[in-house]
Structure 1
């Protein structure tokens, strides 16, 4: 079993393009079943202190593998939330 804080330490990387997306900021969990539905990543645009934040929601089914340092995901169905 892995905790949220352990998952948050792993960088998210797309397997198709090798793009670094960042780190998990939150999880979406099914309240009835207790399963993870998706991972949520905050992307920063612009300067680190004053940049805009954009959420990227990646469905759990798109996770290829969770390694020691990174999480590899498919990148074809990202959902952007403003």
Structure 2
């Protein structure tokens, strides 16, 4: 079992490009089935701007390839 707080500490990395996408900031759950449908990833496009708006990327749960010790590998393409 993995907790949300554990997921939030891991870097999200694209299998397609090798780029770092960001960190998990939220999960979307289907209330009828109780299953996680998507992960919401937050990323600031520039670390130097503290007040810059954070962008969100939504990755379907089915696109998660594997959970590593420090990273979560995802396919960005369905």
What TM-score, normalized by structure 1, do the two folds share?
0.85
Matches within 5 A, 1:34-73: 34-46=34-46, 47-73=48-74
Structure with the bigger percentage of strand: 1
Deviation at 1:43, TM superposition (A): 1.8
**Superposition RMSD on alpha carbons, in Å?**
1.3
Runs of 4 or more above 6 Å deviation: none
Aligned residues: 77
Which residue number in structure 2 is paired with residue 4 of structure 1?
4
Structure 2, gaps ≥5 residues long = none
Structure 1: state its 5+ residue gaps: 78-82
What is the rounded CA distance, in whole Å, between the counterparts of 1:66 and 1:59 in structure 2? Answer: 15
